[in-house]
Amino acid sequence: MLRLAALALAVARAYCAPDAAKVAEVETAIAATRSKLLAIYGEGVEAALLRQGVEFLDDEHGRGKVVERLLRAFALGDSFVIAVGGMSDVAGHGNLFEESYPNVCNDVLRDVFRTAGINFHVRNMAMGGVPSFPNSVCMEDNFGRDADVVVWDFRMVERDEIKGELYVRQALMQPRAPFVCFKRHNPYLKKFHYAHAEGALHVIDEMKAYNQLNKAKSPGVANDKFCEGACECPGQVRWHAGWKMQRFRGVHMALAYLDLFETAVDHYKQLLAAGSVPPSDHARWVLQPRDREALHAPLVKECKDPFCSATFNCAMTWQPKVGRSLVDLVDPQLGLNGWKMQHPSPRVADITNQGQTKCHYKDEKRSLVGNAKSHWVFFNVPNVQDGGLIGFCGDFQSQKFDEYALIVVNQEEVMDKLTIWLESKTLGIASACFSTTHNVVEGDNVIGFRVTSGDLQISLTHLIWN
């Protein structure tokens, strides 16, 4: 670990801030990339058409914050990471995973940012059939602590403002103080005024531009189908996009951030000309997590403590994620003890296997399932803070746990001491989360589950603690 830290420090010291020649090279790369992308949609298509649907709810301040973050990445040779949360369409179902729009956005901008010395990545964390909750309270372990922009794209499976505000708030509280992008201008976004400037809350909605291109019979969107070539990918249903629509969404998003980066490069050029580029250790470049205590109170009354005003550590069975698996926390002395990792049904298992093997899908919704034939399963929960909580999520056939299960925290039963958070139901999942502070201690804790009824089972997907 010390060697890695020393190496990172050496790289940082060796990095040279961009000079005028590098700025010119990046400007050329930006112009060439924009021209290449516009050419996909036919002669005469202008960038202004594809700028439609890009809106900052506080244009004066929000846009400038994203530009400043990109300027920082360019000046320091740092990373710029966009983490995308979404449902099956975003995960690319029906097409190859590589054709999903977050991956397209990543691919078309990679060379520009590489030229600029920026480690750029669009991380596609979408899962089929799920709304934003409960993964939203696991944002660091789900998306990664290095995100600069967190994207909401659950447009086909989520409408309510409770989960929308929860998503925004969890993003605002992440370590790198990321900004928030929505793929649709949901009416409730205007209400969340505290995120408009601070979180640079913005919308990148491709539909107006797409409809104009479609009406004009642009070759870039006409005669769409699933997969650019031949494929046998599951999910080829009418509500999933074809590969040209996926490509357009990726190009539309790429052009939005390319415009912002171009502005950042221009700002850097002005600083360079004035001889006033701050050194790498200047306070301007320091990224500080936002002060959670200063965060405005939730505006949706159902967005309650603790889940709307605190962040959490998580271990999950669902994929994709960057953090721990639920089974990583299973006490090694007893192991799974009759509990099994399984898909909701054999049909889902078959579809998941086909999608992952033939089309490179990354998402999977397995649960850790126990019934009366199983025995105790215990999880070692590390580093719980003083006054913290422990929670769990899953698909529960009954929420009256004391009638069919034993749940203990540090050997004390907690079935009647649980607080329900939120519930999510779609065609793909039914999920609810519960937490307790009873008998929770600072440091390491143990939570255990045992099903006592022969008729019911427990399907666990998340453990949550702070």
pLDDT surpassing 50 at residue 274: yes
Q: Residue 428: its pLDDT value, please?
A: 78
pTM for the structure as a whole: 0.95
d(CA 16, CA 74): 11
Cβ contacts of 37 within 8 Å, gap of 6 or more = 108, 251, 254, 255
Q: Residue 43: its pLDDT value, please?
A: 87
Q: Residue 44: its pLDDT value, please?
A: 86
pLDDT surpassing 80 at residue 13: no
pLDDT surpassing 50 at residue 359: yes
pLDDT surpassing 60 at residue 41: yes
* Strand bridging mode 412-413 / 458-465: unpaired
List pLDDT tens digits, range 416-464.
999 999 999 988 789 999 999 999 999 999 999 999 988 899 999 999 9
Q: Residue 18: its pLDDT value, please?
A: 96
List pLDDT tens digits, range 152-185.
999 999 999 999 999 999 999 999 999 999 999 9
Quick one: average pLDDT of 110-134? 97
Quick one: average pLDDT of 1-20? 57
Closest CA to 128 of 174, 97, 163: 97
pLDDT surpassing 70 at residue 281: yes
Region of 227 on the Ramachandran plot (φ > 0 left; ψ -120 to 50 alpha; else beta): left
List pLDDT tens digits, range 370-380.
999 999 999 99
Q: Residue 454: its pLDDT value, please?
A: 80
Q: In whole angstroms, how far apart are CA 424 and each of 157, 162, 247?
A: 10, 11, 30
pLDDT surpassing 70 at residue 124: yes
Measured in whole angstroms, the distance separating CA 97 from the mean position of its chain's CA atoms is 16
Q: Residue 15: its pLDDT value, please?
A: 64
Confidence of residue 11 (pLDDT cuts 50, 70, 90): very low
pLDDT surpassing 80 at residue 3: no
* Strand bridging mode 458-465 / 367-370: antiparallel
Q: What is the mean pLDDT of the chain?
A: 95
More confident residue, 426 or 26: 26
Exposure string (b/e) for 157-190, b if CB count within 10 Å is 16 or more? bbebbbbbbbbbbbbbbbebbbbbbbbbebebbe
Closest CA to 167 of 124, 209, 135: 135
pLDDT surpassing 80 at residue 9: no
Q: What is the 3-state secondary structure (H, E, C) of the chain?
A: CHHHHHHHHHHHHHCCCCCHHHHHHHHHHHHHHHHHHHHCCCCCCCHHHHCCCEEECCHHHHHHHHHHHHHHHHHHCCEEEEEEEECCCCCCCCCCHHHCHHHHHHHHHHHHHHHCCCEEEEEECCCCCCCCCCHHHHHHHHHCCCCCEEEEECCCCCCCHHHHHHHHHHHHCCCCCCEEEECCCCHHHHHCHHHCCCCCCEEECCHHHHHHHHHCCCCCCCCCCCCCCCCCCCCCCCCCCCHHHHHHHHHHHHHHHHHHHHHHHHHHHHHHHCCCCCCCCCHHHCCCCCCHHHCCCCCCCCCCCCCCCCCCEEEECCECCCCEEHHHHECCCCCCCCCEEECCCHHHHHHHHHHHHHHCCCCECCEEEECCCCCCEEEEEEEECCCCCEEEEEEECCCCHHHCEEEEECCEECCCCCEEEEEEECCCCEEEEEEECCCCCCEEEEEEEEECCCCCCEEEEEEEEC
Q: Residue 2: its pLDDT value, please?
A: 45
Quick one: average pLDDT of 64-92? 98
